[in-house]
């Protein structure tokens, strides 16, 4: 084992699906020291006992906000993976990032990051003649829709395409063909699906389907732990996957 100091990590949302995965993998990682875990009902102020630690948080918008509000005075950095954030949580993270390092990503898998790069490239190469439809599928317990990943991929597609509006589902009472400018968004929910995302690029006589499928939650947790190690040496600021792995644009 190397002599490098271990990254001290706290896990917020520790009883949840992601939290349990993180606790298991953090305990197995020789480069990580798990200093504390917090869940619903625990006081976020307990983090003040661990200045210099990185709090990894996969919980809920209120959990994100609570952590962001305490992190600067506690002296802890933030890795947040929670999706479906409200404006108050987003503002709190931005505010915290002026005082401590903050890393956010709607999807901590490297594969989804690469999917975003491929989407940007495919849209630029195919031109405006291809219609864009984004379909995501998740387990029956997911509360936010569309997924944070779908929204991130859609925003990449919007930038690559220029002006494009998001159309969520299709209303049965509205008899109208799609416009060339829209991006259709579709959220499937059920069973134990970890997370699938497909962008359809639909042209005349041909179509492309760019898909990422997660088959376990370990990949998200590995991404978050990697982000925590990297973040522990960064100055205050707001970081994302592009800082961790680069854009990889050709």
Ligand X SMILES: O=C(O)C1=N[C@H](C(=O)O)C[C@H](O)C1
Ligand Y SMILES: NC(=O)C1=CN([C@@H]2O[C@H](COP(=O)(O)OP(=O)(O)OC[C@H]3O[C@@H](n4cnc5c(N)ncnc54)[C@H](OP(=O)(O)O)[C@@H]3O)[C@@H](O)[C@H]2O)C=CC1
Which residues contact ligand Y by CB under 6 A?
12-13, 15-19, 38-40, 58-60, 62-63, 66, 81-84, 105-108, 148, 220
Among 77, 97, 107, 198, binds ligand X (CB under 6 A): 107
Q: Residues near 101 by Cβ (< 8 Å), separated by ≥ 6?
A: 77, 78, 231, 232, 234, 235, 236, 237, 239
CA atoms within 13 A on the CB side of 16: 20
246 is in an annotated binding site: no
Beta carbon of residue 45, minimum distance to ligand X (angstroms, whole number): 27
Residue pair 79/54 in contact by the 8 Å Cβ criterion: yes
Beta carbon of residue 181, minimum distance to ligand X (angstroms, whole number): 24
Q: What are phi and psi of 210, to 5 degrees?
A: -100, 115
13 is in an annotated binding site: yes
Grouping H, G, I as helix, E, B as strand and the rest as coil, residue 36 is: strand
Q: Counting contacts by CB under 6 A, is residue 77 touching ligand X?
A: no
Q: Counting contacts by CB under 6 A, is residue 13 touching ligand X?
A: no
Q: Which structure tokens are listed for 40?
A: 């619903």
One symbol per residue from 145 to 164: x for binding ligand X (CB under 6 A), - otherwise; what is it? Answer: --xxx---------------
107 is in an annotated binding site: yes
Interface residues with ligand X (CB under 6 A)? 83, 106-107, 138, 142, 147-149, 195
């Amino acid at each position: 084992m190397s002599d490098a100091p271990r990254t001290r990590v706290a896990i917020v949302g520790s009883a949840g699906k992601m939290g349990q995965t993180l606790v298991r993998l953090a305990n197995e990682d020789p480069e990580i020291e798990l200093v504390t875990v917090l869940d619903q009902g625990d006081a976020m102020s307990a983090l003040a006992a661990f200045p210099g630690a990185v709090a990894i948080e996969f919980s809920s918008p209120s959990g994100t906000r609570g952590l962001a509000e305490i992190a600067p005075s506690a002296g802890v950095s933030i890795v947040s993976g929670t999706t479906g954030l409200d404006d108050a949580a987003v503002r709190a993270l931005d505010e915290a990032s002026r005082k401590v390092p903050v890393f956010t990503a709607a999807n901590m898998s490297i594969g989804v990051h690469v999917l975003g790069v491929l989407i940007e490239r495919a849209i630029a190469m195919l031109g405006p003649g291809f219609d864009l439809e984004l379909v995501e599928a998740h387990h029956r317990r997911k509360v936010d829709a569309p997924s944070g990943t779908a929204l991130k991929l859609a925003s990449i597609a919007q930038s690559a395409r220029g002006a494009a509006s998001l159309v969520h589902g299709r209303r049965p009472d509205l008899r109208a063909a799609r416009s060339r400018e829209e991006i259709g968004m579709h959220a499937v929910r059920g069973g134990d699906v970890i997370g699938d995302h497909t962008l359809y690029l639909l042209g005349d006589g041909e179509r492309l389907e760019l898909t990422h499928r997660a088959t376990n939650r370990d990949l998200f947790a590995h991404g978050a732990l990697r982000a925590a190690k990297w973040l522990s040496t960064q100055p205050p600021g707001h970081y994302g996957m592009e800082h961790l792995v680069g854009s990889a644009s050709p």
